Chains A and B, each alone.
Chain A
Amino acid sequence: MSGILEAHNIAKSYGDFKAVKGVTFGIEDGEIFSLLGPNGAGKTTTISMLSTLFAPTSGDATIGGHSVTKESMAVRRIIGVVPQDLALYEDLTGRENLSFWGQMYGLGGAALKARVSEVLEQVGLTDKGNQRIKTYSGGMKRRVNIGVGLLHKPRLLFMDEPTVGIDPQSRRAILDTVKDLNRQGMSVLYTTHYMEEAQELSHRIGIIDHGELIALGTLQELTRSIGELETLRLHVTEDADAGRLAEALRTIPGVTRVDAADHQAVLTAPDAEEALPAVVSKANEIGIKIRSIDIEEPNLEAVFLNLTGRALRD
């Protein structure tokens, strides 16, 4: 495989604030690459620089061999962008929106008409194409938003958190669409803060936090990097102090990381089952009632927790 994207130490600062602190990674042709990180980690800023929306403060990237800083027009012809927020005209129909954006990518005439119909079919909105966007449900709008990015058959598609705020059914449809597109040969740079999405979709994953790429590799490589640690998720009652429980659990031998969030205490240990009796005993000792316990195989949550000391949803 050859690289469709090569980012070299790209950084973006706003005054003294460094939103992205020199990120280097590459995406292979035909690959789905996920940038995983919590809100405010620098995912959208990274995608904005790579899609030529604004220039990096330093560093550069090439897409299809073209520099994003020096050959922005050439880059724009081979990329598609699906922004996090809907970017559509509510008073135009779905078909009119696609037609307008298709023209902005240089399509026209019969080819445009045919492509708009194809994309409407691809996103499952053929029968709703002549209705105005403002009459669509949130999920339908998301699908048109994705469709706009596909019109000119880009080689590399940027998808910035495309499933935020939608129902599980629409989320499922979007994830399936991404896989379909990839099967057709399209490379995808997918940003998300949902660990499950990154795990399901990605060939490789980059974990980004506070503007830095802190880990990069396949799912297997990343989980192996933390030593096959298992995750123990303890759900406590709503009136219980999960933070106090987390503090108490730190003293248990073998526990490598502990974090508390959303009435949960999350800890990693080489053998969760072995640590379990001591965990329950400690909870009883400090008077905190545990409602349920999940034992999870090594996953990205554990990786993130291990790398940052914080849960991904923080």
Chain B
Amino acid sequence: MWLAAFARGIEIEVMKKLFIIGIKDLTLALRDRAALILMFAAPLVLTLGLGLVTGRFSGQSDNNGLRDIPVVLVNQDDGRIGAELVNVFTSPDVGTLVKPISDTDPAVARKRVDDDKVAAAVIIPAGYSASIIPAANNASGVPAGDKKIEIYVNPAQPVGAGVIRSIVDEFVARVQAGRVSGLIAITLLIENGLLKPADAAAYGQDFGRRQNGPAQTIITVRRTSDAGTPPPTVDILAVLAPGMALLFLMYTVTRGGATLLAERDNGTLARMLVTPTSATQIIGGKVIGIFLTAVVQVAVLIVGSGLLFNLHWGDPIGVAALVLAVAAGATGWGMVIAAFARTTAMVGSLGAAVMLMFGVLGGSFGDNFPLPDFLLALGKITPNAWGIKGFTGLASGGVLGDVLPNIIALCVMAVALFAVSVWLFRRNGFIKQ
């Protein structure tokens, strides 16, 4: 009985040492001004900057990201197709994605774009429908000619403008597909004697009406919850904020790894080794220090970005678990980098390279880097990829259960990398009993 209690006492003493070293490292990290700038200020500023670039803070957004994209519609067409395109922008299927306003003057619409009032202007020219559907007096059934919809985009709001362009492109593609199939059908019917050339125009108009009838879905906002609940929306900042947090998390863990080598260079490691503390405890303490610093950083950035950018991260338990998991996964990488490098300078340069590489592979910069499949697969080794997906999932209404695979992957990553770092430390003689 007393022996078990004694053993427990020793275990507590061992664990206590780990936290003594860890808390010392956390204190030192929080007193390093340069580190504070890179840990906290830089990710928030970059998130803000990228938010501005992507048009997140433009227009009359209610801070929910890709919704209420302002667009001005100028419909000069007197036919059905122009009206249908306008209906698409106001249909419930597009939901709150766009916020259209109407105008009659293309010049005024373009001015609104130039003044950064809207993301794009969609100008449907007069006679657009007639250029698709043959007129009643057209005996051949062939449409009158080409008319093009003009999309006048705002370069300051590239994401919003891109969405408007996608909606119009999708609409035009469907209209063109219908037009071609209509022409082929009429030609085949006339050739086979099933349709008189004199009836071709009327048939073509009827075909056009059927092709462009109501309820043509152009864009549908995906619903992941039951009908009746509001559809989830993904804010671009819900991707960028964790992206930047995890990008700079790699800086933090690399810096933490470098402190282990700095302790060796400054003589504090040798001094620790002549106290009643084992080398394993010291390494463990350093791991705890990196982990605690990483947790504080990610937690502050997640809470901070939530408050600054009015982001809703969702299930708090899921968020807390994910914060711990990404900190653990990144800590593993920090230890491996420290074990691999021989000097603090080498950790610095290696860490910077890994930070940027993981940022690109793991999606910290959004989907702006089109990567081949094998690099996308390689991205799975980064805490960034698992973490960003997890936080975005939670922000979209997910719960702990939804991000459990991400958490498990990050924990496996942490354990595996810690084992690798211990092996490397032993191999290079850093850990000697």
Contact = CB atoms under 8 A, between A and B. Distances in A.
A81 B16 CA distance: 22
Contact of B275 (A54, A86, A96, A101): A101
B275 A91 contact: no
Contacts of B266: 87
B267 interface: yes
A149 to B, nearest CB: 9
A73 B276 CA distance: 5
B276 A85 contact: no
B432 interface: yes
B367 interface: no
B310 interface: no
B270 A87 contact: yes
A88 interface: yes
A81 B24 CA distance: 21
A83 to B, nearest CB: 6
A53 B432 CA distance: 10
Contact of A104 (B20, B27, B267): B20
Interface string B3-46: 00000000001001100100010011001100000000000000
What DSSP secondary structure best describes chain B's contact surface? helix
Contacts of A104: 17, 20, 272, 275-277
Interface string B241-278: 00000000000000000000000001110111111111
Nearest to A105: B275
Given A85-B267, A89-B268, A105 B32 contact: no
Contacts of A91: 28, 31-32
A83 B271 contact: yes
A87 B268 contact: yes
A77 B274 CA distance: 9
A83 B17 contact: no
A299 interface: no
A48 B274 CA distance: 9
A96 to B, nearest CB: 8
Given A87-B266, A87-B268, A101-B271, A77 B276 contact: yes
A259 to B, nearest CB: 34
Interface size class of A (residues with CB under 8 A): 20 to 34
Contacts of B273: 52-53
A88 B275 CA distance: 14
Contacts of A87: 266-268, 270-271
A76 interface: yes
A86 B276 contact: no
A100 B21 CA distance: 8
Given A89-B24, A91-B31, A92-B27, A106 B268 contact: no
A53 B28 contact: no
Interface in B265-304: 266-268, 270-278
A112 to B, nearest CB: 11
A76 B267 contact: no
Contact of B268 (A48, A51, A88, A96): A88
B270 A53 contact: yes
Contacts of A23: none
Contacts of B432: 54
A103 interface: yes
B167 to A, nearest CB: 55
Nearest to A100: B24
A216 to B, nearest CB: 25
A103 B276 CA distance: 10
Interface string A90-110: 011000100011011110000
A103 B272 CA distance: 11
Interface in B123-169: none
A83 B271 CA distance: 8
B267 A83 contact: yes
A148 interface: yes
B287 to A, nearest CB: 17
Most buried by A among B13, B266, B276, B432: B276
- The 8 residue pairs across chains A and B that have the minimum distance between CB atoms: A87-B267, A87-B271, A104-B275, A91-B31, A76-B276, A103-B20, A81-B274, A51-B274
26 contacts: A48-B270, A51-B274, A53-B274, A73-B276, A76-B276, A81-B271, A83-B267, A83-B270, A85-B267, A86-B267, A87-B271, A88-B268, A89-B24, A89-B28, A89-B268, A91-B28, A91-B32, A92-B27, A100-B20, A101-B271, A101-B275, A103-B20, A104-B17, A104-B20, A104-B272, A104-B275
Given A79-B274, A92-B31, 5 more contacts: A76-B276, A86-B267, A87-B271, A91-B28, A105-B276
Interface of A: 48, 51-54, 73, 76-77, 79, 81, 83, 85-89, 91-92, 96, 100-101, 103-106, 148
